[in-house]
Amino acid sequence: ESIRKTKSGKEIYVSIKGYPIKYKGKQLGVYAIYNDITVRKKEENKIKYLSFHDQLTDLYNRRFFEEERDRFDNSRELPISIIVADMDGLKKINDNYGHKKGDEYLKMIAEIIENSVREEDIVARIGGDEFAILLPNASKKVASKVEKRILTKSKDKSKKLKEPISISTGSATKNRSAESLEEVFKIADKRMYENKESKRE
């Protein structure tokens, strides 16, 4: 399978079958049959995209996040940080304004987080109102800066909304190879819930 250009310059996906052309035991060339498989390849790419992305926010999904977390767990490039972020009050918005409005807020939060991270960071929606960020080569200080940007941008956005946006975050950092990113995630998640609970006091 490959990509070829038509006479008009349009790129299409093709499957190629080649057969040798022989004469008196010598190969003179190759006879190739091209089949246009553009529609099939587009469907395959769509399925692949959906298997790793959240349909509501277009962020990566939990499956992709966990696969990348496990992949980076074997990396020698340290430190690696994880941020867990959770939307506060989604139930209240859903109850008062409906799930459609709740979805709009989740999309806004996804956008805020995406605009707060570095290009190399991996952002995923891992639950209903929960998001996670994997930050390669990021110290505790770098993770804290990203957290602050998320919280600042959410406050700025809230000024324009009838119902304010509130996000709770928590972060943790892997500094040694012996540490597990799964445990780092659990610590970040615990800190996020502690920050969320402190707002209710």
The amino acid occupying position 105 is Y
Query: Is 129 a known active-site residue?
Result: yes
Is 128 in contact with 103 (CB distance < 8 Å)? no
Burial of 120 (0-12, 13-18, 19+ CB in 10 A): exposed
- pLDDT one-digit tens code per residue, 28-60: 999 889 899 888 888 888 888 888 999 999 999
Instruction: Tell me how far apart the alpha carbons of residues 174 and 139 are, in angstroms, rounded to a whole number.
Output: 8
Catalytic residue of the set 58, 129, 156, 189: 129
Helix (H, G, I), strand (E, B) or coil at 39: helix
Average pLDDT in the chain? 93
pTM of this structure: 0.80
Supply φ then ψ for residue 99, to 5 degrees. -70, -25
